[in-house]
Amino acid sequence: EVQLVESGGGLVKPGGSLRLSCAASGFTFSSYSMNWVRQAPGKGLEWVSSISSSSSYIHYADSVKGRFTISRDNAKNSLYLQMNSLRAEDTAVYYCARETSYYDILTGYQHYYFEYWGQGTLVTVSS
Amino acid sequence: SSELTQDPVVSVALGQTVRITCQGDSLRSYYASWYQQKPGQAPVLVIYGKNNRPSGIPDRFSGSSSGNTASLTITGAQAEDEADYYCNSRDSSGNHLGVFGTGTKVTVL
């Protein structure tokens, strides 16, 4: 059974830092790209960052670029998000999500989607 | 960056059919995936690819696409289908799955 378990959330003051972790199990972690997605209270889903299976390709949303750093340790089956210079608008539930991709020979398309999600960890930025 | 637009609220009578749409330029190049989210829970994948359902998702959920519009249809909506639904696709650069729709709240009457 695939499991993604986030941890590390909590209350932090503006300008502070926090490191989120996501422990993966039930699949070959080193074979999949991983993502962080967040959801502010009462708002929609917002993609935050992605990292390829070997950490070769990393992308960030403009809203967090330069402040957040995604990383992974394939030996520990773990995904991380280092969050610095936190702002009130970073307050959200942060989910880690496994990205799956496959080539559909019938349509000729490469498909990408978030196949599994963790339960999320709440980050609150407030003084 | 790309954007995906959804109607904010859609209502459906119990047992009837509802279609949720998602519009955006990136959908001309990539199929959308769809996620159901109930209050206090993580999102759950319901449709991916051209029209594929993960194991455990009822066959009343189906997906389709035309041009810049993707649709999620619930045929014979049940009370438990009341939830928020989000579409998602790769962004126009093709580099990441960084585009979520604005979300649709489905109410089952």
Tell me: the pLDDT tens digits for B78-109? 999 999 999 999 887 877 878 899 999 999 99
The string of pLDDT tens digits covering residues A9-45 is 999 999 999 999 999 999 999 999 999 999 999 999 9
List chain B residues with CB under 8 Å of A2: none
> Residue A36's pLDDT is what?
98
Pairing of strands B61-66, B44-47: unpaired
Interface test with A, best of B89, B95, B96 (most A CBs within 10 A): B96
Which A residues 23-82 touch B at CB under 8 Å?
35, 37, 44-47, 50, 57, 59, 61-62
User: Which residue in the set B42, B95, B101 is minimally distant from A59, CB to CB?
Assistant: B95
Q: Which of A106, A114, A118 sits opposite B88 (nearest CB)?
A: A114
Task: Kindly give, in sequence order, each residue whose CB lies less than 8 Å from that of residue A95, ignoring residues fewer than 6 positions away.
Answer: A6, A36, A37, A38, A39, A117, A118, A119, A120, B42, B43
Q: Write down the pLDDT at residue A104.
A: 85
Other residues' Cβ atoms within 10 Å of the Cβ of residue A25: 11
Binary contact (A109, B37; C-beta < 8 A): no
Residues of chain A scoring pLDDT < 70: none
Whole-angstrom CA distances from A68 to A50, A60, A80 are: 11, 8, 10
Nearest CA in chain A to B41: A119
